[in-house]
Structure 1
């Protein structure tokens, strides 16, 4: 199993606080069946500044430590940039790191409360530069929860998305779990990842999430997400089904009641 989103590198962001915690996280990942982790420290998010070369160096160091401790886990380089207008300029300057340094897939983190107005144009420009943007944890964005058609348009126009294992298991609440399942049902997401930060409040929960998904949709959904993770780290084209709009049942229910009253 490959986890494409994890904050296992120590002392870079709000993830692992030191090398010991990184080692403990690695052991836990192996116990869940994870063999590869794409380390994705925050970049340009609040005080975090983790350019490409810094991450590559830290990944190399952690892999050496894992080998020394005989932990059968490979760390691959990645980055979680918060969306900002100059991201392509910084990519061309060598500061932005694609997932597994493949030059193919680029994580994009949106603010938790809204979707910036320039998002659609920026994601389009990213694709013009030969990259595929992957919007991380869209299920936890307030504006997308209220208006999923925004995400539908972004996915229809070529963006990928990644949902979080703890969202699927319900650890972020029922509303976010429901939205995560709707994204899966409507072909609006392409990857499942842990976004693990530690072993207490933000652990992996990958095995638990796959159990939930297989129970709801069958084993095919597990093959789909696992296969796409492998394709991503190899820099190959991932499998994408035609996205569909999420039906707003509550709105239709209110409209139906209004129409019924009008007929009386």
Structure 2
């Protein structure tokens, strides 16, 4: 399996603060069946900056640790970029990383309680610049819960959305699971990722979420989610069925 959203690089954000903890997380990921991942530290969120060069160096150093420890896991560079007005400028100037540093996909973090007034403008500018926004964990955004038509419109305009594995697996509470299932059934999400942060509570695990997905979606849909993760890794187009929700 491929995990496109995780916080495993030690010392960069609110993920692991030590090499030892990061190694534990990597072993858990491998045991769960994850073979490749995109490391996506929080970037430009008012707390953590994590510019492109920092992340690239951290990925190289951590991959060397994994190779030394004999852990069969390949880590690729990325970032979870917080929504901000100058986001496209920062991405085009290589100040902030796109997924796999390929300028094709951008993992976009929205505030939990609201949507900035410039959100639609930033999304349009990303598309105009040839980059596809991946809306991270929409099931946790209070506005998108009330107005899923906004998410449906973004998807029709070319965005994709990523569900958090622990939301679908029921590990983030009933409300998160309810909205995760709603978004799956209405084709408002196209990817699943761990958003893992540690080795105890927010683990790098995907298998339970894929099993949960099989309970509410056909097997071919589950395979589409898997193929889309590979598409993000390779920088090619995701499969995006028409949302079953009217704008």
TM over 0.5: yes
Q: Report deviation, 1:46.
A: 2.8
Root mean square deviation of aligned Cα: 1.3
TM norm structure 2:
0.97
Q: Report deviation, 1:157.
A: 1.4
- Residue in 2 that maps onto 1:62: 62
- Confirm or deny that 1:149 pairs with 2:149: yes
2:38·2:75 contact (CA, 8 Å) conserved in 1? yes
Paired with 1:218 and 1:153, the residues of 2 have a C-alpha distance of: 24
> Which has the greater radius of gyration?
1
Superposed CA offset, 1:39-82 (max 9, x none):
00001113101011110000000000100000000000000010
- Confirm or deny that 1:16 pairs with 2:16: yes
What is the 5 A alignment of 1:1-264? 1-245=1-245
Q: Report deviation, 1:92.
A: 2.2
Paired with 1:46 and 1:172, the residues of 2 have a C-alpha distance of: 25
Paired with 1:141 and 1:233, the residues of 2 have a C-alpha distance of: 25
Q: Report deviation, 1:190.
A: 1.1
> Cα 1:33–1:120, aligned 2, differ >3 Å: closer, same or farther?
same
Paired with 2:223 and 2:114, the residues of 1 have a C-alpha distance of: 32
- Of structures 1 and 2, the one with the larger relative CO (CA 8 A, separation 6+) is 2
Q: Report deviation, 1:90.
A: 1.0
Q: Report deviation, 1:246.
A: 6.9
Superposed CA offset, 1:134-186 (max 9, x none):
11001000111112112111112111110000110112221221111121111
Paired with 2:219 and 2:29, the residues of 1 have a C-alpha distance of: 21
Paired with 2:126 and 2:115, the residues of 1 have a C-alpha distance of: 17
Superposed CA offset, 1:210-253 (max 9, x none):
11111222322321111000111101111011112179xxxxxx
* Unpaired stretches in structure 1, ≥5 consecutive residues: 248-264
TM norm structure 1:
0.91
The runs of at least 4 consecutive aligned structure 1 residues that moved more than 3 Å come to: none
* Unpaired stretches in structure 2, ≥5 consecutive residues: none
